Chain A
Amino acid sequence: MLLHFCESTAFALLKSMKWKLLMNSSLQSGDRPYGDRQDYHCLLFVLDSANLHCFFEFLQKGFFVKVVTGKSIKQMLCDQFGVQPDYAVNRIKTIFYDGKPVDDMDRAIVRDGSTLAFSAAMPGLVGATFRSGGELSPFRSTISYRPDIRQTSDSKEGVVFIKLFNLLVSEMGPAFLCRGILIEKKLLDSFLKNQSIDFWSRCSSVFLGNHPMEKEKLMHDGVPGTEKFVLLKLKTIPQKNNVKS
């Protein structure tokens, strides 16, 4: 139910931007990242959708998600995260696999522990140089990603570190935030301490696991526990000023 609600909110956002990033229906059957792990807490924010952008900084810094490895990047995006194929091809123009520019997302196989960064088309000569399969790709041939032909395509459970940049932050980000992203607790604690009163007033409630949290305590003391990571999830409600009486 939660996922469904978040998907709807994210979709509304994306629709308004004229780009559709549809969540794949197969993901609604409980494929929730880290659901069976207990070495971190899940912190759920129920908040005004106007607050969503405040969390975008985690998306550019990067976050962990559970994936099925042994699949291509395109398969991961489309089959596991529900990205529409035309969006993947036409909107995601720059991909880095462990820092190496990728020219063909169909041939780059996702490994456990890899870092994947996604960007829309970039300006600048160098920005254009990094485009997947672009005319200027010879300019950076020494660092380009080359598919490892010895690599197996066995499907296993794994974790990857994902970064979203620029236009993709607001387009792909909400869906990831609603699914849940695993981030370092100290980063989240620092983030919470720096938020304005306005931010907290637009958070209607916060849950640690199934337990409601006091917002003031969270702001001052951070997320309870000694675990290194926190699974951050958001559930959005319509903006207050948009609600008609």
Chain B
Amino acid sequence: MDNILRVDMGAEGGPQFSEEPLGDYAGLGGRIMTSTVVGKEVDPLCHPLSAENKLVIAPGLLSGSTAVMSGRISVGCKSPLTGTIKESNAGGQGAQVMARLGYAAIILEGKPKDDKLYKLLINKDGVKIETADELKLLGNYDTVEKLIDQYGDKITCISIGSAGERKMSAASIAITDMEVRPTRHCGRGGTGAVMGSKGLKAIVLDDTDCSMRPPKDPDAFKTANKAFVAGLKKHPVTGEGLPAYGTNILTNVINEAGGYPARNFQSGQFEGASKISGETQAELEKSRGGKATHGCHRGCIIRCSGTFLDKNGNFLTKQPEYETVWAHGGNCGIDDLDAIALIDRLDDDYGVDTIEMGATVAVAMEAGLAEFGDAEAAINLVKEVGKGSHLGRILGNGAAVTGQVFGVERVPVVKGQALPAYDPRSVQGIGVTYATSTMGADHTAGYAVTANILGVGGKVDPLKPDGQIELSRNLQVATAAVDSTGMCLFIAFALLDQPETFQALIDMLNAFYGLNLTADDVTAMGQKVLKIEREFNIKAGFTKEHDRLPAFFKKEKLPPHNVVFDVKDEELDQFYNF
């Protein structure tokens, strides 16, 4: 991982590439790499779909090594959905393979002067750029199938579907999994539209005959990795709960707490929750011969995913995650797992973010385009996105645009990005994260529940009025740090409860790079990421007034607890005081 691959898609005579040493970007990975490059090289005032925007793809610091759980890949740019800086990450094989091919980042710049479509091919022998007009407007599944026919089944693909080509703001970038299926997505923020604007349909990676990245201190690394594995396996969340039920294990619990946004955030509970819960989903998958426990990349030992087969026993999609099941399920009043899984497949194929699309369909239902609970109508709305019809182009640009076009007041977005599956009125602290995140409403922005272990900001006093602000800040700092390692965020639960597992992670980083990092250094890295991102957003025109939830969260009481979001604006304004 000693090089950066820079591709100028707008070069005279067609796209050109060059390789360069890491230089100022040495020692960076994942989110800190993408945000540093975007912060340094992209004009914050540029149009997100213009030649001036750049798309940065980066594996994590430990990707490509034998470290377990190190398969997250980050994508960064200025977001067409939010207008802010964006980092979106995904699992799949991309990070591991790209790192083994030696690249710490691929930076796409410029824009083709014609309307040709291209593909980028990378293997041990080098890099090639070829036209890819034969893939035009194909879905991700057909795209990958054609690429396998051409380049064999050992490849890993990073691709966009028709939504990305049409530059829709909800467009995602797909990463193939171990079975070479395009099931993992950098979903949030419309990164797929930026890739589409660059005229790049796919990156084909093949790491055949490439070695694992070697650690500086192999023995210490092996010992730390072993301790890390043991820690993950013995913890009830990473060793039992997630493998058994996946992230959809959350449906019943969030619903019971009255924090499950139902029917476009009208209520905090959904009567059909048990029909679409992780427990029910796992039973259904197993009864059809699918898998309820499956990893998304080599080296994953939590294995929170699975395979969802249709009623005839044929592969339909990967196990839909909690946020997807919520977005297309309870948020639309739908309690049919088969319908939700079909929509998940369509989302993955067209290449759109499942959270944004679910929120958008719910806003469309609120607007009267369909009835809440009408699964067939929901499927047809999503199919409009695939067709690229006028309605589909509106929906494919997300909940905010759809709400504006159809005159809906209750539109759950922050900085243009749809809120995920947790209502901020019942869990006020996550409302602070939604409001203040540099990314727009994003549940993963403050996901690393390791703040207390990292000692970020010390202990929080829950009785202090600004306790939730401080807690959210600590979580966002910790998350930015974990996002930079390339580690799956789900490791956070074992780190939270088991200090020795957290130490094992630090030991792995130190042994791999020959460093002496401490928890303070990790904290500093997280703070640096947030500061870079915040600075970009300020230059792009964002102010503290953008760090707000939509007004309805402050005035509409959420049943069953009948609570509103009551964190004061002045408290939110304290968030970046560090």
Interface residues of A (CB under 8 A from B): 53, 56-57, 60-61, 91, 93-94, 96, 99-101, 117, 119-130, 135-143, 163, 165-167, 169
Query: Given A99-B560, A122-B237, A143-B561 in contact, is the A165-B279 Cβ separation under 8 Å?
Result: yes
The contact of A96 among B257, B274, B446, B467, by CB within 8 Å, is: B257
8 pairs across A/B with beta carbons < 8 Å?
Answer: A53-B283, A91-B236, A117-B252, A125-B447, A130-B257, A139-B427, A142-B426, A167-B241
Task: For the complex formed, measure the closest distance between the CB of B88 and the CB atoms of chain A, giving whole angstroms.
Answer: 17
B531 interface hit (Cβ, 8 Å): no
B429 interface hit (Cβ, 8 Å): yes
Within 8 A of A (CB), among B238-255: 238, 240-242, 244-245, 247, 249-250, 252-254
Chain A residues whose C-beta falls within 8 Å of the C-beta of B240 in the assembled complex: 120, 167
Within 8 A of A (CB), among B244-280: 244-245, 247, 249-250, 252-254, 256-259, 269, 274, 277-280
Query: Given A126-B430, A143-B561, A143-B563 in contact, is the A121-B237 Cβ separation under 8 Å?
Result: yes
Residues of B in contact (CB 8 Å), total 54
Chain A residues whose C-beta falls within 8 Å of the C-beta of B250 in the assembled complex: 122-124, 126-127
Chain B residues whose C-beta falls within 8 Å of the C-beta of A117 in the assembled complex: 252-253, 256
- Across chains A and B, which 7 residue pairs bring their CB atoms closest together, nearest first? A139-B429, A138-B462, A128-B449, A165-B252, A117-B256, A126-B422, A96-B256
Write the chain A residue with the least CB distance to B460: A138
| Contact indicator B490/A140 (Cβ below 8 Å) | no
| Contacts beyond the supplied A139-B428, A143-B426, A163-B256: 5 A-B pairs with Cβ under 8 Å | A56-B279, A126-B427, A130-B253, A142-B566, A165-B252
| Contact indicator A167/B236 (Cβ below 8 Å) | yes
Bound-complex Cα distance A141 to B428 (A):
8
The contact of B493 among A101, A123, A165, A169, by CB within 8 Å, is: A123
Bound-complex Cα distance A57 to B279 (A):
8
Write the chain B residue with the least CB distance to A17: B240
| Contact indicator A140/B277 (Cβ below 8 Å) | no
Bound-complex Cα distance A57 to B236 (A):
22
Write the chain B residue with the least CB distance to A129: B427
| Contact indicator A121/B236 (Cβ below 8 Å) | yes
Chain A residues whose C-beta falls within 8 Å of the C-beta of B443 in the assembled complex: 124-126
Bound-complex Cα distance A137 to B257 (A):
13
Number of A-B contacts (CB under 8 A): 151
Specify which of B252, B426, B443, B446 lies most central, judged by the most chain A CB atoms within 10 Å of its CB.
B252
B471 interface hit (Cβ, 8 Å): yes
Chain B residues whose C-beta falls within 8 Å of the C-beta of A135 in the assembled complex: 449, 451-452, 460, 496
| Contact indicator A60/B274 (Cβ below 8 Å) | yes
Task: For the complex formed, measure the closest distance between the CB of B331 and the CB atoms of chain A, giving whole angstroms.
Answer: 15
Query: Given A61-B274, A121-B241 in contact, is the A140-B429 Cβ separation under 8 Å?
Result: yes
Chain A residues whose C-beta falls within 8 Å of the C-beta of B426 in the assembled complex: 140, 142-143
Write the chain B residue with the least CB distance to A127: B250
B475 interface hit (Cβ, 8 Å): yes
| Contact indicator B468/A143 (Cβ below 8 Å) | no
Chain B residues whose C-beta falls within 8 Å of the C-beta of A130 in the assembled complex: 253, 257
Bound-complex Cα distance A125 to B424 (A):
12
Task: For the complex formed, measure the closest distance between the CB of A167 and the CB atoms of chain B, giving whole angstroms.
Answer: 6
Bound-complex Cα distance A91 to B322 (A):
22
Chain A residues whose C-beta falls within 8 Å of the C-beta of B467 in the assembled complex: 138
Query: Given A60-B277, A124-B447, A165-B279 in contact, is the A142-B252 Cβ separation under 8 Å?
Result: no
Bound-complex Cα distance A53 to B236 (A):
21
Bound-complex Cα distance A138 to B256 (A):
18
The contact of A125 among B256, B446, B566, by CB within 8 Å, is: B446
| Contact indicator B427/A120 (Cβ below 8 Å) | no
The contact of B563 among A120, A137, A142, by CB within 8 Å, is: A142
Task: For the complex formed, measure the closest distance between the CB of A164 and the CB atoms of chain B, giving whole angstroms.
Answer: 9
Write the chain A residue with the least CB distance to B282: A166
Chain A residues whose C-beta falls within 8 Å of the C-beta of B269 in the assembled complex: 99
| Contact indicator B256/A122 (Cβ below 8 Å) | no
1/0 contact string of B446-485 vs chain A (CB within 8 Å): 1101011000000010100001100100010000000000
Within 8 A of A (CB), among B525-567: 560-561, 563, 566
